[in-house]
Amino acid sequence: MMRELMAKELMRNRLRTALTILGVAIGVLLIVSLSSFSEGITILVNQEISYSTGLVSVIQNGISFQNIFYSKVDEDLIDEFAGISGVDESAGFIMGFAPGVGFLGGIDFEKSDMYSQINVGLDEGRWPADGADELAVGWSAKDRLGVSVGDDIMIDKKAYEVVGIMQETGTTDDEGVMTSLKTAQDVLKMEGKVTMITLKPVDIAYARDVADQINQEYMDSNDVTAGTDEDVRKFAATMTGQMSAMTFGLGSIALIIAGVVIMNVMFMTVRERRREIGVMKAIGATNRQVLVEIVAESMSISLIGAFLGLGLSFFSVGFINGIIGSNLAVITVNLAAEAVLFTTLIGMLAGIAPARQAARLNPVEAIRYE
């Protein structure tokens, strides 16, 4: 009975209902689209942290791990750090975004065990030679770029041969393209620089001491800062948490405005249905039943708008990722669930005041209302 009444009311003024749902959908679209960047960056940061487990990471002083793509460290420090007491091995790493390609990583393939605990292998082909105009393409990137071994990829009007296809890992590595350190420096205009230097201690227990020594001896003169994987993890958790709160908050403003619109619509609905509500109460409907029906109608509008907005968000995020050439924006299950739950809560709160007004109507006065 209640579902029939709800459906009848939502269809009574289709244009008003459609516009209200659209307002909610736009709010959800904004909140999910903005937050998807925070989610994507969080995933990327967590993956990069997993690469440095048990290692010491050295980046440019003043650059957060969240903005690591902007870090520039002198390449000469790679060999210099290798001579520090307690350090077993040192290697440079370059990360950036190449036009038309997306994420591009540059490493010394002779020290590949220094970069990832995942141990990415090749599905076919070989790794790029040092300094050669060659690329190894991620599992998903090969389909996105439409290439296979032997094909060329144009970057800034220069051809780079695809010599390898990496195995599927289920991580953002699948979206990336790898090349040698020297070639990455040329592509990303980072001559003599690397994004990060990773140091492998002779024993994992020495990681803290190595990081402290670098911070004491090199921070001022070379503008670098060092940290263990735990330092990076704590800092990244704080930064990504702040970004998530900020983006979710900005998107929520539009959703709260949509909630105010829903409340206004429900007040109008109650006023238009005073006679109908009076009849319902006269034939036995309780105040609670009237209240539940109005709140349910409000929540239905918000819920329909939430799923419509979520659907639009997937198209929006896909379009944005297509433009930037990388899956930087990600809609996670948690993000989608939070958006739907938050929107439903807004709808419920927006319907309470109109519902209370409807429940308090005097049946006799309501029936006589014209």
The two structure tokens encoding residue 107: 């490493």
Q: Of the candidates 340, 243, 303, 257, which has an alpha carbon nearest to the alpha carbon of residue 41? A: 243
Phi, psi of 71 (to 5 degrees): -70, 140
pLDDT tens for residues 303-345? 999 999 999 999 888 887 777 666 778 888 888 898 889 888 8
d(CA 13, CA 8): 9
DSSP secondary structure of 112-139 = GGGT-SS---EEEE-PPPTTSSEEEE-H
User: Tens of pLDDT along 251-288?
Assistant: 778 778 888 888 888 888 777 777 777 777 777 777 78
What is the per-residue pLDDT for 117? 47
Residues with Cβ < 8 Å from 12, sequence gap 6 or more?
none
In the Cβ-directed half-sphere of 336, how many Cα atoms lie within 13 Å?
Answer: 13
Q: Which two tokens stand for residue 23?
A: 């307002």
Q: What is the spatial distance between Cα 50 and Cα 70, in angstroms, rounded to a whole number?
A: 20
Dihedral of CA atoms 96, 97, 101, 103 in degrees, nearest 10, equals 50
Q: Is 74 left (phi over 0), alpha (psi -120 to 50) or beta?
A: beta
Neighbours of 185 (CB within 10 A): 21
Domain ranges of the chain: 2-43+238-367, 62-222
Question: Which amino acid, 239?
Answer: M
Which of 227, 238, 175 is closest to 197 using CA atoms? Answer: 227
Q: What tokens were used for 164?
A: 């390898």
**pLDDT for residue 111:** 78
**Which residue type does 102 have?**
G
**H or E stretch at 74:** strand 73-74
Euclidean distance between CA atoms 218 and 278, whole angstroms: 79
Taking the CB of residue 160, how many other CB atoms lie within 10 A of it? 23
Whole-number Å distance between alpha carbons of 118 and 181? 20
Q: Residue 72: how many CB atoms within 10 A of its CB?
A: 17
Distance CA 205, CA 27 (A): 49
Write the CB contacts of 135 (distance below 8 Å, at least 6 apart in sequence).
128, 153, 160, 161, 162, 163, 164, 177, 178, 179
* One-letter-per-residue 3-state SS of 165-210: EECCCCCHHHHCEEEEHHHHHHHCCCCCEECEEEEEECCHHHHHHH
Q: For the chain, how many residues are written?
A: 370
Cα 7-12-13 angle, rounded to 5 deg: 120
C-alpha dist (Å) from residue 230 to 95, 122, 213, 251, 302:
21, 30, 17, 31, 42
SS3 73: strand
Q: pLDDT under 70 in the chain at which residues? A: 1-12, 44-54, 65-66, 113-119, 219-222, 229-240, 324-326, 362-370
For residue 266, give the 3-state DSSP assignment.
Answer: helix
Residue 149 · residue 165 · CB < 8 Å: yes
Task: Judge contact between 291 and 356, C-beta under 8 A.
Answer: yes
